[in-house]
Amino acid sequence: MENIYNLIISLIGSVSGLGIFIDCMLIMIESIIPPLPLGFFVTILFINYGIIPGFLMSWIFTILGCVISFYLFQTTFKGLVDKYVRNNKYSDKFIKLIDNIKFSDLVLIIAIPFTPAFLINIAAGISKISIKKYLPALLIGKISLVLFWGLVGTSLIESLKNPISIIKVLILLFITFIISKIVSKKLNIN
User: Which residue, 29, 31, 27, 25, is CA-closest to 125?
Assistant: 31
User: Which residue, 43, 37, 48, 42, is CA-closest to 10?
Assistant: 48
User: 0.75 exceeded by the pTM?
Assistant: no
Instruction: Provide the pLDDT for residue 66.
Output: 92
Per-residue pLDDT of the chain (190 residues; tens, 9 = 90+): 456 556 656 665 665 566 677 777 888 888 888 777 888 888 888 888 888 998 999 999 999 999 999 998 888 877 777 776 666 666 667 777 788 888 888 888 888 888 888 888 888 888 888 888 898 889 888 988 898 888 888 877 776 677 776 677 678 778 877 887 787 777 776 5
State the Cα–Cα distance between residues 147 and 156, nearest whole angstrom: 14
> Which conformational region is residue 40 in: left (phi greater than 0), alpha (psi within -120 to 50 degrees), or beta?
alpha
Radius of gyration of the chain (CA): 18
State the Cα–Cα distance between residues 31 and 187, nearest whole angstrom: 23
- For the chain, what are the domain ranges? 2-186
